[in-house]
Structure 1
């Protein structure tokens, strides 16, 4: 049973963090992220000249005196499990790597919360943002791609304004869907907007966060004297050696619910948001790109006031901390003014995750937010990497802060739970601050020494290899100290995972038994062949029903707990860049060719639009091949422009094989066209 906060402690306005997911430099998941943070690892990558050249870098640029071959690099940022999300190969290749990464991160965040990603909580909103990307710029100026899939489709698949709608559409989330853009503070602003939407009742759950993948290629940057980038490829916030920031890529998404709802539904509560605020510097600063003191201070003060707390109640501040001369100085001045109630104690730790990862642009704020939640969960403060001595011009001696320079236990305060503030600042002046609090205590699960009985663990994946990977990960998780109870594990697997085609099950009496059977599955062996134990026959019957594709009913007790997420196994789809484009060559119009040749050309057009090598399968239908209404609009236009065939768009709504569709298109040509043209359909829409 979860212990609720005492009355008057902000329950009505508190928001629970019930799930999180992130892909950051050096960390494919949050377990690796925490290990890197706790070990003080700098996850910035220094590239060799050969690596840069192999990835298409300009030889003259990288051999320049001021080129820094360093970045917070995200390996495999172009990998995507396209079929899982309903994209054909052509669409998935055109889809911006940012969109791909955000979709997978959102999926994992919902699984972390213990919810089926395709059957999430009712009225779930999406509040996310992203950066400008090389792929997006190349795609939207490539005439070949526009001719292949349609200019509108290119924009929808690549523009960052569609980041939130794609998540809502592919995961079936029907709450508000907002793509947020406030430059570097985007993802923390998204968290604030999600909090406000939950408090106003606009949604009952929310995904919030951001993504930044400016390029999937190995790239450094050029350092300019007086610019924001570090001359040596290291970011040292608040340090006497600070010289600037380093760019990086990453993605993070958190799942939020009202605390009262999360407690009532037995959700896994990772931390609590007590308050948040957003301000803008307006015209009170020296320049558009410069930060301002007063409104940074105001954001902090307003957030803590919204929480019903004083900034002096904090024990830690996760700062924006870019390590730039102007940025750090202004942020320290603003924070010192806001936390003046704690002056003289120097008991508030301060740090910045940019020392580990670099500056993740639109994903910077959520990376800092997730870091702070992990510290609260583990009651541990982690270091700002490379901290030596505070910068003498920042006035630490007259502030309540000290830079956390090593991993230390987070001492419990004399009154109240552990609390932290998280700040983010965007170019253009949007300042955000969020107040985080340690989750309320949860009673430990019942000991496996006296189990209530055997449990049924259900697993599924798209492929047998992925299923084995998933079983191995689950076995490892159940071996760890503090692993969830078998009952809660079974509960989460039944309610918190999407049923897929390749299935297996395990019936086990305790965790050790479950681990052994899951390891058998991971090795590709049948883990259900052991004789049935007394009392588990009904569970085995349910397991066998599961194997045949049935949805197994579940009404038993249990709590949602953190388990390994689905191991995506998509291909590397690459990304477009401006240098790879070639001029579009006009193709001869095939309008007058013989019908046999015309049918071949029409089949080739269908194959290209649907991402198929060829239209060879006589049973393949348009929808089974991944066709949708946007692709249909594109095909109608191509058939008209390239073949002088005026095809009714309703043809693409019928359950036809692609072979039948090609023949009917030829029949339309031979019949002289159709009255049900795209123009007629659009005219009908406009009339409505």
Structure 2
């Protein structure tokens, strides 16, 4: 009898211990599922040369108007008849670059395949490459990883042009499928980079890219991927689409988005692409990534039965904001800044703004600032949400709120009297409070699908290293790689331009950032420089030699220029870390010499624990040719 009691007690004790263990595991899983998402990289191609986050921020800070006339090359494709003098077609937010340009060799396309592929897909691939570099990952280093791609897109103008051509030629091309199907927007990127996480393309009209970011967060929280690229793309390839949108009475005849203003009379179209690289915060910290900001919460809903299928629905917008703010823990006072959808339409802006006002306490101090990037570059449609997202991340990082263009007289349809909202008309300092700065972004689709995300600023613990504390004789390595020597010279030129434009550089951070983000190609070279001036001298000397044959001190051109004095080590070079070479420069030279000779080097592992900070470096310079449909 005593043995039975003892056995029963032991069973109960073990059961209670197991219940406690499972409860702890559930709590840990909940924490990991919904921890903040780190933004570790960004890239963009936006109108009028805002082709990097740094250039985009300069345009925002200086309140540059990025709307302009149609590029000359595309002016041939005009609508005849009554549309020739249409005010809606005169200006838009156009990219400066030739949208048909593409480095088909780098992305492994045949010329025919490139020609039949939607320029939106080509641009998306390029910006994905640049986003990975910005995050500090060589684009060829992630094959087989659980990296997801979440793409937003809505226009199929190129597919329509191909369909028109097929009617004339009666020829069917297999590339028309893989080059234009929406699923291939994400699928092609996953294929090219070798990712094995989800590849999902979303079309919710104007909210597509912010919905894609929300979906990426959910993919990370649920363990579908360990890293994600998310964003969207939009190109204006046919003026017929502008004519169609004008029939909805949503376009401004002045081609300007006068958001929140009494004279708001519509939006103006724009084009571009933006990509952000995301990880769970714990993973980003473990991997030593630089963190631009963190996502605290996100959400998506639908307007449902409103006054029309394309009319924004205030109550559903309010429900979404309230729910996301609750998840982010800011229900009481809301965020410090809201990047509004703010198209500049007479109906849409008041609906959005009055929904926000209803959620915020009138007496809140300081005020909640509201702006919209559409006042700068127009409505990028499928890429609109990510454009506002990148703007907001940059505002958090720089602790400034860009001024809103074209805001003079507040709209009488917005309940300003009951509001704590302020629209900044010039760029202002974002004064800090007791808590970290918090911002939110809204994106509302023409289809009724709404998205909202809350961001929080993040202070990286790793600070810039002090270059002056380094030995004056310390030579910092910079590795360059390209498909050919001609392409190599393109990389040199870009780096020279970067060094001229940025005078206050830390060579150790710069060397680290450059080396971890370069993909490997056939041509491999290294320069060794103690400071910015020496790096400029080496590269400018090499560029002046058109034969690429004259020896330049400090430049290793492939294996021919390696010094004979490099000491070989019996230790396997892949086991050497950056911390070891600090006291042994010869060892560092051996690491880079082996790389030039063709040894595969894991640069992220080499630099792990180095306490250097990721900083901006020039992106790889694509060697592009123009691939467009031939017109007669």
**Which TM class, normalised by the smaller chain length?**
0.7 to 0.9
Corresponding residue of 1:93: 115
Deviations 1:304-356 (A, max 9, x none): 22222336252111000001011001101111123x23545471111111111
How far apart, in 2, do the equivalents of 1:565 and 1:95 lie?
Answer: 23
TM-score between the two structures when normalised by the length of structure 2: 0.83
Map of 1:59-458 to 2, 5 A cutoff?
59-64=80-85, 67-75=88-96, 76-120=98-142, 122-143=145-166, 150-215=172-237, 221=243, 227-283=249-305, 285-310=306-331, 312-338=333-359, 340-341=360-361, 343=363, 345=365, 347-413=367-433, 415-451=434-470, 453-458=474-479
Q: Secondary structure at the match of 2:623?
A: coil
Q: How far apart, CA to CA, are the structure 2 residues paired with 1:456 and 1:72?
A: 40
Q: 1:545 Cα deviation (Å)?
A: 4.0
- Cα gap change, 1:443/1:198 in structure 2, threshold over 3 Å: closer, same or farther? same
Unaligned runs of 5+ in 1: 1-6, 582-688
Task: Give the count of matched residue pairs.
Answer: 564
Aligned partner of residue 469 in structure 2, secondary structure: coil
Cα deviation 1:82-130 (Å, max 9, x = unaligned) = 1101001000000100000000010100000000112238311011121
Deviation readout 1:409-456 (Å, 9 max, x if unpaired): 11112x111111100000121111100111223342321112264322
By how many angstroms is 1:259 displaced? Answer: 0.8
State the shift of 1:186 in Å. 0.3
Q: Deviations over 1:601-656 (max 9, x none)?
A: xxxxxxxxxxxxxxxxxxxxxxxxxxxxxxxxxxxxxxxxxxxxxxxxxxxxxxxx
Residue matched to 2:570: none
1:57-88 CA distance string (max 9 Å, x none): 13424434555411111231111111101001
> 2:553 maps to what in 1?
529
Distance 1:394 1:275, change over 3 A: same
1:36 is aligned to 59
Q: Tell me which residue corresponds to 1:551.
A: 600
Distance 1:344 1:14, change over 3 A: closer
> Retained in 1: the 8 A contact 2:116–2:175?
no
Structure 1 residues 125 and 192 mapped into 2: Cα distance closer, same or farther (>3 Å)? same
Q: What is the CA distance between 1:530 and its match in structure 2?
A: 4.7
Cα distance in structure 2, aligned partners of 1:249 and 1:529:
45
Using a 3 Å threshold, how does the CA distance of structure 1 residues 229 and 530 change in structure 2: closer, same or farther? closer
Name the CA distance, whole Å, in 2 between partners of 1:116 and 1:123.
16
Distance in 2 (alpha carbons) for counterparts of 1:25 and 1:189: 22
8 Å CA contact 1:208–1:254 kept in 2: the answer is: yes
2:616 is aligned with 1:568: no
Distance across 2 between alignment mates of 1:247 and 1:486: 42
TM-score (norm 1): 0.76
Instruction: Classify 1:43/1:527 alpha carbon distance in 2 versus 1 (closer, same or farther; 3 Å).
Output: farther
User: For residues 528-568 of structure 1, what are the alpha-carbon distances to aligned partners after superposition, in whole Å with 9 as ceiling and x for unaligned?
Assistant: 52597996444444444444444346524434433211122
User: How far apart in 1 are the matches of 2:157 and 2:389?
Assistant: 27
Q: Is residue 346–residue 402 contact of structure 1 (8 Å, CA) maintained in 2?
A: no
User: SS of the residue aligned with 1:325?
Assistant: coil
CA contact (8 A) 2:198 2:225 kept: yes
Q: CA deviation at 1:207?
A: 0.4
Distance 1:376 1:15 in 2: 15
Are the equivalent residues in 1 in contact too, given 2:139–2:518 (CA < 8 A)? yes
**Separation in 2 of the partners of 1:450 and 1:66?**
60
* 1:476 Cα deviation from its structure 2 partner: 4.6
Three-state SS of the structure 1 residue aligned to 2:35 is coil
Contact 1:381-1:409 within 8 A present in 2 as well: yes
Q: Secondary structure at the match of 1:393?
A: coil
CA contact (8 A) 1:396 1:402 kept: no
Match of 1:683 in 2: none
Instruction: After superposing the two structures, state which structure 1 stretch, 516-525 or 459-468, moved more.
Output: 516-525
Structure 1 stretch displaced more, 348-357 or 69-78: 69-78
| Alignment correspondent of 2:481 | 460
Distance of 1:312 and 1:377 partners within structure 2: 22
Q: Which moved more, 1:168-177 or 1:59-68?
A: 59-68
Q: Distance in 2 between matches of 1:74 and 1:218?
A: 18
Within 2, Cα distance between the matches of 1:230 and 1:185?
A: 20
Relative to 1, partners in 2 of residues 1:274 and 1:479: Cα closer, same or farther, differing over 3 Å? farther
Q: Is the 8 A contact 1:69 1:219 kept in 2?
A: no
1:106–1:527 CA distance, 2 compared to 1 (3 A): farther
Deviation track 1:567-591 (CA, whole Å, cap 9, x = no partner) reads 2221121247xxx58xxxxxxxxxx
Partner Cα distance (2:111, 2:478) in 1:
33
Residue aligned with 1:100, SS: helix
Q: Distance in 2 between matches of 1:440 and 1:527?
A: 44
Residues 459, 503 of structure 1: 8 Å contact kept: yes
CA RMSD of aligned residues (A): 2.9
2:264 alignment partner, SS class: coil
Cα pair 1:77 1:101 within 8 Å, conserved: yes
Cα separation, partners in 2 of 1:114 and 1:530, compared to 1, 3 Å: closer
Residue range with higher mean Cα deviation, 154-163 or 83-92: 154-163
Contact map agreement 1:212 1:363 (CA 8 A) in 2: yes
Check conservation: 1:314, 1:420, Cα contact below 8 A.
yes
Residue 663 of structure 1 corresponds to which residue in structure 2? none
Q: 2: distance between equivalents of 1:437 and 1:53?
A: 41
CA distance in 1, matches of 2:192, 2:111: 16
CA offset at residue 514 of structure 1? 3.1
Give the match's secondary structure for 1:84: coil
Q: What is the match of residue 514 of structure 1?
A: 535
**31, 37, 41: which one aligns with 1:15:** 37
**Distance in 1 between residues matched to 2:137 and 2:338, nearest whole Å:** 31
Q: How far 1:141 moved relative to its partner?
A: 4.8
**Cα 1:163–1:36 shift into 2, 3 Å:** same
